[in-house]
C-alpha cells in the first residue's frame, strides 16, 4: 500500500508511514532513506532562508511516484513466488517427510524428475527481474517544479 500524498500543509510523512510492501526486491530501507534525504535538504534550505516554502511542496510530487513504483514492483515480485513453491513441492504439505520426498522426486533420474526440474527452472527464470533488477532503484527522475 502507498499513500497518494506524502504531505499536507506543515505535516510531512516518510518511510513506512507512506509506503508499505513485502520485502521482495529489498528496497524498503533505501526508499525510506531517500524520502528522508529529499525532505531534509529542502527543510534546511527553507529554514535557513535560502529557498521559498513552496520548495517543500515538491516533496510529495517527487517521492510519491517512487513509493508507488516500489510498492507495485515488490507486490509483483511476491506474486512470482508461488510457482517456485509449487515446483519444489512445498505447497501441498508442511510435513518435512513430504518435503524430502518431493526433493527426492525432483532429483530422480526419471521423466518425472526431469519434468519437475524443468518446472523449477522456469519458475526461477520468472524471478529474473527481482534477482537482476536495476530499474526500480536507479534512474529515478523527478518532474516537480523544483527541477
Residues 6+ apart with CB under 8 A from 63: 6, 14, 18, 34, 35, 38, 39
Task: Identify whether 66 is part of a domain.
Answer: yes
The pLDDT, as a whole number, for residue 90 is 80
Task: Identify whether 75 is part of a domain.
Answer: yes
Task: Identify whether 145 is part of a domain.
Answer: no
The pLDDT, as a whole number, for residue 137 is 64
Spatial separation of the C-alpha atoms in residues 94 and 81, rounded to whole Å:
16
Number of domains the chain contains: 1
pLDDT at 125 over 70: yes
Residue 95 sits in which domain range?
7-139
Task: Identify whether 144 is part of a domain.
Answer: no
Spatial separation of the C-alpha atoms in residues 77 and 98, rounded to whole Å:
27
Task: Identify whether 86 is part of a domain.
Answer: yes
Task: Identify whether 13 is part of a domain.
Answer: yes
Task: Identify whether 27 is part of a domain.
Answer: yes
Phi, psi of 70 (to 5 degrees): -65, -50
Q: What is the pLDDT of residues 7-34, one digit of tens each?
A: 999 999 999 999 998 888 777 888 899 9
Rounded to two decimals, the pTM is 0.76
Spatial separation of the C-alpha atoms in residues 119 and 85, rounded to whole Å:
11
Amino acid at each position: 500500500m502507498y499513500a497518494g500524498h506524502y504531505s499536507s500543509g506543515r505535516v510531512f510523512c516518510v518511510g513506512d508511514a507512506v509506503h508499505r510492501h513485502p520485502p521482495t526486491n529489498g528496497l524498503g530501507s533505501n526508499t525510506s532513506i531517500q524520502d528522508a534525504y529529499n525532505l531534509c535538504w529542502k527543510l534546511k534550505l527553507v529554514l535557513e532562508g535560502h529557498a521559498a516554502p513552496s520548495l517543500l511542496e515538491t516533496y510529495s510530487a517527487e517521492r510519491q511516484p517512487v513509493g508507488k513504483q516500489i510498492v507495485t514492483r515488490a507486490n509483483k515480485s511476491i506474486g512470482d513466488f508461488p510457482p517456485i513453491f509449487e515446483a519444489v513441492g512445498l505447497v501441498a504439505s508442511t510435513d518435512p517427510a513430504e518435503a524430502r520426498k518431493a526433493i527426492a522426486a525432483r532429483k530422480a533420474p526419471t521423466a518425472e524428475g526431469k519434468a519437475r526440474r524443468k518446472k523449477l527452472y522456469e519458475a526461477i527464470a520468472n524471478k529474473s527481474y527481482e534477482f537482476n533488477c536495476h530499474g526500480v532503484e536507479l534512474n529515478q527522475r523527478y518532474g516537480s517544479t523544483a527541477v
